[in-house]
Amino acid sequence: MIFSGNPQPIFGLMFLSKKSTARLITGMLALSLTACAMQKQFSATGTVTGITRGKDGYMANLTNAQGKEYTAVISRIHLQKAYTDLKEGDQVKVWGDTTLLDNKISIRVKKLTRK
């Protein structure tokens, strides 16, 4: 029953019980998580212009043909058998999840190919 118990305002338009409010919020959260999970994975193609070594892998600075720069985070844990060491000057394409950091896109690489 929607109007049983202690009603709580939702969006200022209707009143729902605490249990119904929790169900509504859970449903909205599940819908938003499903939408996020279905997003297309980001990819970038470019030339390796620098390498910064870390304990689990390295970060490769990539510059594409238009001059846009990316940071590719390449980790043994995420790539496992596909892990490879890149060198400056290598042409690569990377796919993965992104983060915007200091106006530069950082890509947590899930797949990598050399061009």
> Is it the case that residue 13 has pLDDT exceeding 50?
no
- pLDDT tens figures, 36-70: 444 568 999 999 999 999 999 999 999 999 999 99
Mean pLDDT of the chain: 79
CA distance 91 to 62: 9
Residue 35: predicted pLDDT: 43
Residue 31: predicted pLDDT: 46
On whether the CB atoms of residues 3 and 17 are closer than 8 A, the answer is: yes
List the structure tokens of 115. Answer: 């061009």
41: which DSSP letter?
P
